[in-house]
Amino acid sequence: MLSTPVRSDPLEPAAHRSGLIDEIGEFWSQFFVQAFSPYRPELHYMRGPGPAWRAKHGRDAVRNAHNS
């Protein structure tokens, strides 16, 4: 009598189950990386005109823009 390995689903090969588990693990890994990303765009948001804008429009343009 030959002994065969016991599988939970005889129609699905063991290699495919392993690949599925790897895919699920990769999904959750990427999910947590993106869901809890340390990047916070509000910390990098530039408020107001920068030096290039001032060079093009002049320093007085900043005061005129706020007064109008």
Is 20 a domain residue? no
Q: Which of 42, 45, 48, 44 is nearest to 63 (CA)?
A: 48
The pLDDT of residue 29 is: 93
Instruction: Please indicate, yes or no, if residue 33 is contained in any of the structural domains.
Output: no
Any domain includes 49? yes
Put simply, whether the predicted model's pTM sits higher than 0.75 gets the answer no
- Asked, for residue 58, whether it belongs to a domain, the answer is yes
Which domain does 57 fall in, by range?
42-67
Segment 4-47, tens digit of pLDDT: 555 555 565 665 668 899 999 999 999 988 888 887 777 777 77
**Amino acid occupying residue 55:** A
Query: What pLDDT was estimated at residue 6?
Result: 55
* Number of domains forming the structure of the chain: 1
In a domain, 51, yes or no: yes
Residue 58 C-beta-side C-alpha neighbours within 13 Å: 5
pLDDT (0 to 100) of residue 23: 94
DSSP 21: H
